[in-house]
Amino acid sequence: MPVNKVAVVDKKMCTGCGLCEDTCLEEAISVEDIAEVDSGKCTGCGNCVEDCPNEAISLE
Ligand code: SF4
Ligand code: SF4
């Protein structure tokens, strides 16, 4: 059965606003031009998915 899901950023949708970086308790997201997820740190909690104003993150 599936391994744990992790957050994945849609590069075309992300504006680099930085909200997800602030909301991630695992410090798994860093934002320069756009958000990047460290899949080794991401627990798949989904907080960033809920908080992204542009629906640019999903769990996959
Ligand atoms: S909250 Fe959404 S739009 Fe903002 S940096 Fe994160 S992924 Fe990109
Ligand atoms: S799913 Fe949770 S742990 Fe993973 S990047 Fe988003 S906020 Fe961080």
Question: Nearest Cα to 13, choosing from 35, 28, 29?
Answer: 35
Q: Which ligand is nearest to the CA of 19?
A: 1
Query: How are the residues of the chain apportioned to helix, strand and coil, as percentages rounded to the nearest 5?
Result: 15, 20, 65
Distance 5 CA to ligand 1 centre (A): 18
pTM, to two decimals: 0.93
3-state secondary structure of 28: coil
- pLDDT at residue 4 in the model: 84
Task: Supply the pLDDT for residue 2.
Answer: 59
Cα gap 15→21, rounded to integer Å = 13
CATH class in words for 7-59: alpha beta
- 45 Cα–ligand 2 center, Å: 5
Q: What is the pLDDT of residue 10?
A: 98
| pLDDT < 70: residue spans in the chain | 1-3
Residue spans per domain, the chain: 7-59
Ligand at minimal distance from the CA of 51 is 1
pLDDT value of residue 30: 98
User: What is the pLDDT at residue 25?
Assistant: 97
